[in-house]
Amino acid sequence: MSTLVEPLAWDTEFFGFPIGRVDLDDATPESLARIDAEAREMGIVCLYGSLDPSRGTTAYLVQTFGHRLVEVSLLFARPPIPFTPPPTASVGRRGTIDDVPRLGAEITTLAPWSRFGADPRFGLDAARRMHVAWVERAARDGEERMLAVTEDETGVTGLSTQVRSPVPRVDLMGVTKPGTGASYALMAELADWAGGGALEAGPCAARNIAPLRFLEHCGFGMSRVRYLYHRWLDDDAGVGS
């Protein structure tokens, strides 16, 4: 019998307790009970789960088994057409690991919009630390991932991280000086990195309205919606009821 729970080594090491991941699409009471049993046998403390909310009553069912909704996650796509940003005072460039200590304010803006920041069992401090690690990984990679930084005459105005596969995608963007055009300069860096091809953006929290409007202005359209859940295995209040 195949296993349903995937252990996550990086998250486990980073947070300091066993974490796993599970696909909740088409979940049933029987499969949810099996997921719990597998996770407990593996010593998992927290399970990340996700599902397509268009699939009937599954989104409600999983919550009766202790999977707490922490985010509505949106992915956006843009066809391979030229991207011409408006005039901006911010200049974009590829970032390096030496830039990371200067990006504290930009990283701090991201933490409240993270599903980890939304879950008090993780909290804002853990969310911020995870974003620091994410930015550092992009800065060190430079091939499959990339860090972009924007600056004007006053200093840093924003950051973004990109991932190349399977479609070049911006997965983090934090701007601290609205009105400087930093977001457009960062998007131009992504378009240049992609070589003029198709682009993606996200996952983006549905509750974070500003980037949703920005992506629409940049020619992106919503391509996927996922509900994200955390299942803490010590939280059994009302489970299965």
How much of the chain is helix, strand and coil, in % rounded to 5? 35, 30, 35
pLDDT at 3: 83
Q: Which CATH class is domain 80-197?
A: alpha beta
pLDDT at 89: 87
DSSP string, 10-21: HHHHHHTS-EEE
pLDDT at 237: 62
pLDDT at 241: 55
Structure tokens at 29: 């009471």
- Residue limits of CATH 3.40.630.30 in the chain: 80-197
Count Cβ atoms within 10 A of the Cβ of residue 107 and give its class: 0-12 exposed, 13-18 middle, 19 or more buried: buried
d(CA 182, CA 158) in angstroms, rounded, equals 6
Which regions of the chain are under pLDDT 70? Answer: 1-2, 237-241
pLDDT at 240: 60
pLDDT at 167: 95
SS3 assignment, position 237: coil
- State the pTM of this model: 0.91
d(CA 211, CA 201) in angstroms, rounded, equals 10
Nearest to 220 by CA among 80, 87, 93: 80
pLDDT at 1: 47
Supply φ then ψ for residue 215, to 5 degrees: -65, -40
pLDDT at 178: 82
Residue 73: count of CB within 10 angstroms of its CB: 17
